[in-house]
Amino acid sequence: MTLDRHACIVCGNFYQVKKMPHLKFKEIERAYGFDEVALVPGDVTINPDQTNIDFTVKNYTLSIPILASAMDAIVDPAFAIKFNKLGGLAVLNLEGIQTRYENPDEVLNQIAQTPEKEVTSLLQKIYSEPVKEKLISQRIGAIKQAGAICAISVTPANTKRLAPIAKDAGMDILVVQSTVTTARHISKSYRGLILPELCQQMPLPIIVGNCCSYNAALELMRTGVDGILVGVGPGAACTTREVIGVGVPQITATLNCATARETYLKESGKYVAVITDGGIRTGGDLCKAFAAGADAVMIGSPLAQATEAPGKGYHWGMSHSHPALPRGTRVRVGTTAPLEQILFGPTSVTNGTQNLVGALRTSMGVCSARTIKEMHKVKMVIAPSIKTEGKYFQAIQNVP
């Protein structure tokens, strides 16, 4: 509190008035998404084929740092096998259509053919069918028999029941995933998932998500997990921001969690992988995620456009089928190219949606980064107009 001196307009004498401090209810932090930043070229250029983009989580190393989202429109056993043979890791949704129905293709066809106004109620009905243990074993078995790494995703509420079944069936990597996941959970109805116990019971890589803040990421890392998924609300088929108002733009979210990774590395000596999940549409977005601190990315809609994707040109979120409060929407993404072309080219479009691996290697070479960890050090600038600067003719031709 301060005192201000004021003169009386009648007598001219001075008097003091107590000045109350200006209070703010809360501070609002500025956060940034992919379209609001740009990468600064380095002082030395590197040939793209000299870059190393390997991604390691515990005892598994992938030749490309890309995970396919655990969504039914993207990953089935055949897609998981093909994606792993190309160097990435596809995550199978263990609570999805593949483990609820003997003939999932029939159900997927029904989803693709249903009018928009009816699709949410249809999905709610489809996902009310119980998960069947024998189908868990069959789907995992198909992936393993082909010699591919098998990663599966379960929600925290069903991890205790389904993870042991998946482990016995031969899964390699466990992903525990929900819209928002924290190390601590308060509930009167059930005892929440205790991650340290899970890490002791499952001697295999465990990835947990999703989160978007420094504190939440650090607490999750301290439970003993091997990777965290970063992203709340940015996905193409996700409506979490619209429905419950929750979400953090991905550049800021990734920076927050990468900072937590460095803190945890200093205190424990363990390096926990940070995986940016959601909102990545183009090679440019993917490159910016790595510059913000990601060790790998998880992508959905770009892969849903592959001819091998089971969604038949559609994509829908994991929360779309919630019985009371759906937080997703079915989007038509179309079928644009084979999976290998989307990952490695040659690209037939100029909007950055194909040859994602080539884009990453080229960006790293331009930015003087030989490895992903060197990519973490690349300078970023805030550049809200970077997509439109000098792009008049692209804009008038409506070119993305």
Catalytic residues: 238, 332
What CA–CA distance (Å, rounded) separates 374 from 368? Answer: 8
Q: Report CA torsion sign: 181, 187, 190, 196.
A: positive
313: region left, alpha or beta (phi > 0 left; psi from -120 to 50 alpha) = left
User: Could you give the C-alpha distances from 344 to 89, 239, 341, in angstroms and in order?
Assistant: 15, 30, 5
Segments in the chain forming alpha helices (H): 77-85, 104-113, 116-126, 133-145, 156-169, 195-201, 214-221, 240-244, 250-268, 283-291, 301-304, 339-344, 356-366, 372-375, 392-396
Residue labelled with tokens 């390691």: 56
* Strand pairing class (273-277; 296-299): parallel
Task: Give the phi and the psi of residue 107 in degrees, each rounded to 5.
Answer: -70, -40
Residue type, 261: R
